[in-house]
Copies of this chain bind each other. A is one copy, B any other.
Amino acid sequence: MDVKPGPRLTVHDLAEAAGVSLATVDRVLNGRAGVRPATVEKVEAAIARLGFRRDLGASMLARSRTIGIAFLIPGGTNRFMAKLAEAVEQCGRDVRSQRGQFDLVRIPPMDPSALVAAIEGLDPARHACAAIVAIDTTEVRDAVDNARERGISVITLVSDLPGSGRAGFVGIDNAAAGRTAAALMGRFCPDGGRIGLVVGSLGLSDHVHRIEGFRAVAATDFPGLAIAGPVEGEDAYEGTYQATRDLLAAHPDLSGLYNAGAGNAGLLAAIEDAGLGGRLRVIAHELTGPTRRGLVADRVDVVLDQSPLWEVRAVWTTARRLVLGPDALAPAAPIEIRLFLKHNLIAED
């Protein structure tokens, strides 16, 4: 598989090397029917031998097709979702020069019916793909399967919908995130103690997986740790404030809090109002305004983050692969769990 460094390898060279015509090469390359298996093999052998990769720019140009992706992102006050929406806008600007077309739709948060309605309202002619932050209910699952039949590939984003007909998932391994949080919390509380758990909703699979991961490592690696909760804060200020306040009141001995959901501003306010600021180990998710300020002020110890921008880019890569075929492009790298302390904070991205 030695690759010529000289003039660019084209489909013409490939046809010649395979001993077939350009038309046949094209049929093989684009998976069109009407080619004998033996001939397909000849062409594929030549591709491997020459190390041929089609010119993606020319390919997209000739197709004269833009890749439309609808991003269905929950609205409301959730800061992470706001950052995600921002990332869609930013990445959307960048991909326009690669024939990408992102459309951002904010939908009511925590509302399966609204999500279903949004999915069903999509037009396959305009959007080859949809990226959704899944809510794990049967109706959503059905809507995803239905969209697939209508010709819309659905990619789940941040929160997955396993077992459905989604074309892919872009997001972190939430169980691993929960395990990591537990490992850090265990280190930060060497004398044991009780840790309070907070989530947005137990209907969100990402939050549930985090809690499960946390519990698992806490039980095996740090038997000295006790657990309270989880309580649900609805991923918003008020709900999280109240849930945290009640949790702190019920367990005055708490030595740490792990918020697997959003609503960090409310959580931190409740801690402050209880006069516990700085005396609790706090681990939270997503680097946003409140968590960033919390790190700097020593009110948050560690933030686990998934980069919205990377996630949107991964959706783009996944969608391109769906349209162009898996051979045209390398798959998107898995999204990583980023750990932030006060000292390795990065500038806004």
Q: Check A57–B54 contact: CB distance below 8 A.
A: no
The residue on B at minimum CB distance from A55 is: B97
A60 — which chain B residues lie within 8 A by C-beta?
57
Q: Check A309–B338 contact: CB distance below 8 A.
A: no
Q: Check B57–A94 contact: CB distance below 8 A.
A: no
Q: Check B97–A53 contact: CB distance below 8 A.
A: yes
A343 — which chain B residues lie within 8 A by C-beta?
176, 179-180, 182-183, 217
What separation, in Å, do the CA atoms of A35 and B55 have in the docked complex?
33
The residue on B at minimum CB distance from A310 is: B333
Copies of this chain in the oligomer:
2
Q: Check B334–A101 contact: CB distance below 8 A.
A: no
Q: Give per-residue flags for A320-349: 1 if the beta carbon is below 8 A from chain B beta carbons, else 0.
A: 000000001110011011110111101101
Q: Please tell me if A98 contacts chain B, counting CB pairs below 8 Å.
A: yes
Q: Please tell me if A56 contacts chain B, counting CB pairs below 8 Å.
A: yes
* Contact residue among B176, B330, B344, B346 (Cβ-Cβ distance under 8 Å from A339): B344
Q: Using C-beta atoms within 8 Å of the partner chain, give the interface range for chain A.
A: 35 or more
- Min CB distance, A124 to chain B, in Å? 16
The residue on B at minimum CB distance from A217 is: B343
Q: Please tell me if A61 contacts chain B, counting CB pairs below 8 Å.
A: yes
A58 — which chain B residues lie within 8 A by C-beta?
57, 61
The residue on B at minimum CB distance from A335 is: B346
Q: Please tell me if A5 contacts chain B, counting CB pairs below 8 Å.
A: yes
Q: Check A330–B180 contact: CB distance below 8 A.
A: no
* Contact residue among B56, B184, B334 (Cβ-Cβ distance under 8 Å from A97): B56
Q: Please tell me if A78 contacts chain B, counting CB pairs below 8 Å.
A: no
What separation, in Å, do the CA atoms of A4 and B5 have in the docked complex?
41
A61 — which chain B residues lie within 8 A by C-beta?
55, 57-58, 61
Q: Which 8 A-B pairs have the closest CB atoms?
A: A57-B57, A180-B344, A339-B339, A53-B97, A180-B343, A179-B343, A183-B343, A56-B97
